[in-house]
Chains A and B, each alone.
Chain A
């Protein structure tokens, strides 16, 4: 796979296939953690890290262990356990060797196991690989990194929107989550404008 194609995959997964705003993965942290800019950054950094790591681990497990033994149907079960174990391991390693990073990401890590964006990316890259044999390990990792960055972009943008919302006079029934969802809808509208941009850029 050429560099141009990899750049295309990377940009597409940030803009046109944005995990939160176009594919609806990881809506819970998107709504829960996007109130403040620093927590939004911490959460998305942790998600990006785990996404890439989980893809790096589950891809070989699926391709070299599950497929040759015809255990494809165990995919869901194996992946969720691998991700849960991985998150625990990352937590332990960070606590022992990188305390500053642990203090920054630590509280978000347990929440990531149940974040569907992580399980989603590990399965989606395998689906893409099944359709197009050229979509191999490197392309999967690039896609996972792009999806993580796309998550970060959406979270940070939306944290800004929500800070503005704080000072607005909102009708009583719309206060809280409803107005947040309506503003998310407008942010998603702007991401619709990106459709087709990546193909045009790389032509």
Chain B
């Protein structure tokens, strides 16, 4: 797992081909909640990336020690520890960001991207590959948040990173920074991603969706061609 070429692939797949937000539809709650402005969106993305890289590396290093039956609680404990560290760092050095993210910062614990990558990738691959995978996925997450934050801030507040934009600044479309705008922009971005991916064959849902699901062990319905129990 330590060769050069796969490592670059692990890195880039998270950014475009398997973008966690737009293609795998993971971590939707923070995506909608913190993208009212560019700075909070990027802050959230970077905090999640830090947690993702650390938790992926540690889980990968411990993958032979953790018994299979208690792996999910073990992963959650590791992730919660890193979230607490990130939370303390943000509180100490970026109090404004801490106020902007509020309760969504500790909620990184239950972000399905992080548990999903632990289950799908870190539990099966080496430390270096897992760290790179975490970095790629984190940057993909940050990029998607940045895109949504930009669209919503430019249209909804008439500014970008706090800098006023002429014309739009005096006629902001307020709905874009309100909750409905979040749903709408996300829906439109996914439609565009669908359009761009429409030439390629659709991915097998069992591969991408099920491993992150807590019912993975006792469900497996999609693999048998039945309807998913969670839907």
Contacts and interface: CB of A to CB of B under 8 A. Distances in A.
A and B found bound together: yes
Interface of A: 21-28, 31-33, 35, 39, 73-77, 80-81, 84, 107, 110-111, 113-116, 119-120, 123-124, 127, 172-182, 184-186, 188-189, 191-192
B187 A182 contact: yes
Given A76-B84, A77-B80, A185 B183 contact: yes
A116 B198 contact: no
Contacts, number: 132
Interface stretch (B12-20, B27-35, B59-67, B127-135): B27-35
Contacts of B172: none
A116 B110 contact: yes
B107 A119 contact: yes
A176 B214 CA distance: 23
B90 to A, nearest CB: 12
A28 B29 contact: yes
17 contacts: A21-B179, A23-B33, A23-B179, A24-B29, A24-B30, A33-B230, A76-B83, A84-B73, A111-B214, A111-B215, A114-B110, A116-B111, A123-B103, A127-B102, A172-B198, A189-B175, A191-B179
Given A188-B180, A188-B183, A189-B180, A24 B106 contact: no
Contacts of A31: 25, 28
Nearest to B218: A110
Nearest to A114: B110
A33 B32 contact: no
Interface of B: 25, 28-30, 32-33, 73, 76-77, 80-81, 83-84, 87-88, 102-103, 106-107, 109-112, 115, 175, 178-184, 186-188, 190-192, 194-195, 198, 213-215, 229-231
Given A84-B76, A111-B230, A173 B194 contact: yes
B230 A114 contact: no
Given A81-B73, A111-B214, A76 B80 contact: yes
Given A31-B28, A80-B80, A192-B180, 6 more contacts: A24-B33, A76-B80, A123-B103, A123-B106, A177-B25, A185-B180
Nearest to B81: A77
B184 A181 contact: yes
Nearest to B213: A111
A179 B124 CA distance: 35
A25 to B, nearest CB: 6
4 shortest A-B CB distances, which residue pairs?
Answer: A181-B187, A185-B183, A178-B191, A24-B33
A77 B230 contact: no
Nearest to B228: A32
A179 B215 contact: no
B104 to A, nearest CB: 8
B197 to A, nearest CB: 9
A177 B187 contact: yes
A76 B188 contact: no
B231 A127 contact: no
Contacts of A120: 103, 107
Nearest to A177: B190
A127 B30 CA distance: 19
Nearest to B189: A178
Nearest to B214: A110
A76 B76 contact: no
Contacts of A80: 76, 80, 109-110
Contacts of B32: 24, 27
Contact of B198 (A26, A81, A173): A173
A76 B109 contact: yes
A178 B184 contact: no
A192 B83 contact: no
A41 to B, nearest CB: 15
A178 B215 CA distance: 25
Given A77-B84, A107-B215, A180 B187 contact: yes
A202 B81 CA distance: 43
